Structure 1
Amino acid sequence: MLSTGALRAHLLASRLAGPVATPREVNLRSYRLFAARDPRVLLGLGPERAWNEGDLLRLMADRCGVSDDPGRVSGPDAIDPERTLAALDAFADRLAEAAARRSPVLIGTGHPHRLLDFYAGLANALSAAGCAVLTPAKGRSVDMATRFGVRPYTLDYVEGVALMRETGVRAPGSATGAHTHSPLPVRVVLEEAVKGGGVLPELVVGDHGWVCGAGQLGIEAIGLADTNDPALFVGEAEGRVAVVVPLDDGLPSECYRPLARYVLNRACLSR
C-alpha cells in the first residue's frame, strides 16, 4: 500500500501539489470572472451568496493553499500537499460509503486526455464492488458553446467514464475526448435517465461541470479541481459539492496513477 509519506513525496515531485504550473494571473482572472458570475467559470453552479474577489481568494487560500495576499498578482502559485492529502482521504471515504451501499454511480470528466485512467480505475473498482456504473445517453449529441461558437459534441463512455468528443472526429470507444468545462453533458445524462425511467446516480464523480452540474441538482458529487476552478470549492463551501481534491489537473495521465492506488486502498476497493 502506498503510504501517506510516499504519496506526499509524489505530489511534490510531480508538481500535482506544491508549486504548480497554473500561474497566479490565471487564478486571479478566474476569481474575477466568478465574482462577475461569468458562466464560463460557474461550471453550472448557481452560487447562493455574492462572492467577491477577496472572498474567493480567502476561500481558495483556505481550501487549496494559494497565497492569500491580494497584492501578489503574478508569478507561480501553490497547492498545499497536506490539503490535497486530507481531501483524498475524504474522497476515498465517500467512495467506500458508495461501495458499501452498492450505490449507482456516474463518472464523467472534462479532462479525458489527462484523467481518464484515474477515473476508469475507480469505475472498475466500484463495478466490482457491486455498484452500477451508469452510462445513459451514450451517443447523444450535445450543442456546447466554444470560443469558435456553438458546436455539436457527442457523449461517449470509455471504461464506464463519460466524456465528450467532437462529433465525427474519433470513433466511439477511443480514449481521446474533448476538454470541456460545460455542465450540459451531466444535465443531458440525467434527463435521459429520467425520461427512460432508468436509475439515477446517488453519487457523481468527476471534475468541472460534471461535479458542479450534479451538485447544483442536489446529487452528491465529489471531484478534482485546479486552483483556477473556484466553482467546485464554492460548491463545497455552500454544501452542494461533498468533496473537492485540490491538485493540478493538467499533468500527464501517469501522474495520477499513484493517487488512484492510494484512494482505492483507503476505500478497501483494491483487487
Structure 2
Amino acid sequence: MADVPTRAELRAHLVRTMIAGDVATPRQNNLLHYRRMAARNPYYLFGLRLSERWGERDVLKTMVELCGVDPDPLHLYGDDTIDPELTIDALEAMGDRIGLAASRRETVLLATGHPATLTPVYRAVAEALAGRGCRVLTPAGGWTYEIESYGQRETRRIVYAPEGVAMLEDETGRTHHTHDAAPMNAMLAELRSAGDGSASASPDSAGPKPRLWPDLAIADHGWAGAAGQAGVDTVGFADCNDPALFAGAAEGKIQVVVPLDDGVSPHHYAPLTAYLLDRAGLG
C-alpha cells in the first residue's frame, strides 16, 4: 500500500497523472455521451430509470457541478476537465460511507466495469472491509449472458477476484470493460430468490428486503447504476463521459460519485486508494 498523501499531495498527484485536472477524455466524446443519455439510450443510462428532466443542457449543467467539466457549451472539441477538488471531496465522502460500513460490519457488494484499471482499488477496499468483519457477497458467480460485439455474439460471465470483486470475462478468461446493468441485476435477483424462494423476483421489486441483501455497493458503470436503482446504498467512480451516475446522484439514487479518469495506468490509483482507506479508518 502506498503512503497516505495529504490532500494537497493527492491533488498534485491527480493532476500530474491526469486522473483529474486536464484529462485525456475528448470533449466531443463527453458531449456525445451526454446527448445519448438525454435521449434515453439504455447503454448510457447504466440501469438507472431517470426522470424526464434530463435534456442535454441539464446533463452538462450537472456535469459541471458534480464533475467539473468545462461549462462552455461552445467548447465542442479538444480535451475536457475534471475538478480535482470535487474528486477529493467525493473521495472523502466515499471514505466516510465505507468507514461506516466497516464500523457496522455491513454486508457489501463490489464490482467494476473497468477491470484493467480499477480492480486494485476495489480489491484493496474489499480486503480491508473483510478484515473488519464485513461480509463480502459474491452472488451469481458463473452467470452468463450474450452481448453483440463488432457484429458478433459473445458470451460474458460474472467472475470474482479472490477478495470478492465482481467483473466480466469472456470464454477465453479475458476480463472486459462493460457498461451493462444486467450482471448486477442478475446478482441482486439471485439474492432475492435466495431470500424469498422466487427465482423470477425483480431486483428492484417492492417489498421487504431479502434475508441476505447488501447494505452497500461499491461499483461503477452499470454495476453501480443497477444497485442504486434497486435501492442499495451505492458509492462509485465515474469518468467525465459517464453522466448517468452523476444524474443518479442528483436524483438521490446514488450516494456518492467520485469523478475521475477511469482509464489511466492502475498503479497511478495507489495514492488515491491509500487516501480513501485512511479516510475510512481502514489504513
- How much has 1:151 moved relative to structure 2? 2.8
Preserved contact between residue 144 and residue 182 of structure 1 (Cα < 8 Å):
no
Return the letter of the residue paired with 2:9.
A
Q: Which residue of the other structure, out of 6, 10, 24, is the alignment partner of 2:9? A: 6
Indicate the residue corresponding to 1:181 in structure 2: 179
Matches within 5 A, 1:33-182: 33-158=36-161, 159-166=163-170, 168-170=171-173, 176-182=174-180
Q: SS in structure 2 opposite 1:196? A: helix
C-alpha separation between the residues in 2 aligned to 1:70 and 1:34? 17
Q: Which residue of the other structure, out of 14, 21, 28, is the alignment partner of 1:25? A: 28
Return the letter of the residue paired with 1:180.
T
Aligned length, in residue pairs: 264
C-alpha separation between the residues in 2 aligned to 1:96 and 1:148? 44
- How much has 1:144 moved relative to structure 2? 3.3
Indicate the residue corresponding to 1:219 in structure 2: 232
Indicate the residue corresponding to 1:244 in structure 2: 257
Q: Does 1:200 align with 2:213?
A: yes
> Structure 1 residues 140-149 or 61-70, which shifts more?
140-149
C-alpha separation between the residues in 2 aligned to 1:112 and 1:27? 21
TM-score by length of 2: 0.91
C-alpha separation between the residues in 2 aligned to 1:47 and 1:57? 15
Structure 2 unaligned residues grouped into runs of 5+: 196-210
- How much has 1:100 moved relative to structure 2? 1.0
Q: Could you give the per-residue CA deviations for residues 149-185 of structure 1, whole angstroms, max 9, x where no partner exists?
A: 543211100021000111x211xxxxx5111000001
Change (3 A) 1:264 1:18: same
Q: SS in structure 1 opposite 2:139? A: coil
Q: Could you give the per-residue CA deviations for residues 181-238 of structure 1, whole angstroms, max 9, x where no partner exists?
A: 0000100111112222362111110100011111111111110000000000000000
Preserved contact between residue 142 and residue 155 of structure 1 (Cα < 8 Å):
no
Indicate the residue corresponding to 2:248 in structure 1: 235
C-alpha separation between the residues in 1 aligned to 2:41 and 2:212? 33
The 4+ residue runs of structure 1 with deviation greater than 6 A are none
Q: SS in structure 2 opposite 1:236? A: helix
- How much has 1:41 moved relative to structure 2? 0.5
Q: Could you give the per-residue CA deviations for residues 32-64 of structure 1, whole angstroms, max 9, x where no partner exists?
A: 101100011011111123211111111101111
- How much has 1:146 moved relative to structure 2? 3.8
Aligned CA-pair RMSD: 1.2
Identity percentage of aligned residues: 45
C-alpha separation between the residues in 1 aligned to 2:149 and 2:63? 27
C-alpha separation between the residues in 2 aligned to 1:242 and 1:71? 31
- How much has 1:16 moved relative to structure 2? 0.3
TM-score by length of 1: 0.95
Q: Could you give the per-residue CA deviations for residues 122-141 of structure 1, whole angstroms, max 9, x where no partner exists?
A: 00000001100110111111
Return the letter of the residue paired with 1:95.
I
C-alpha separation between the residues in 2 aligned to 1:213 and 1:149? 26
Preserved contact between residue 193 and residue 199 of structure 1 (Cα < 8 Å):
yes
C-alpha separation between the residues in 1 aligned to 2:189 and 2:109? 13
Q: SS in structure 2 opposite 1:152? A: strand
Indicate the residue corresponding to 2:271 in structure 1: 258
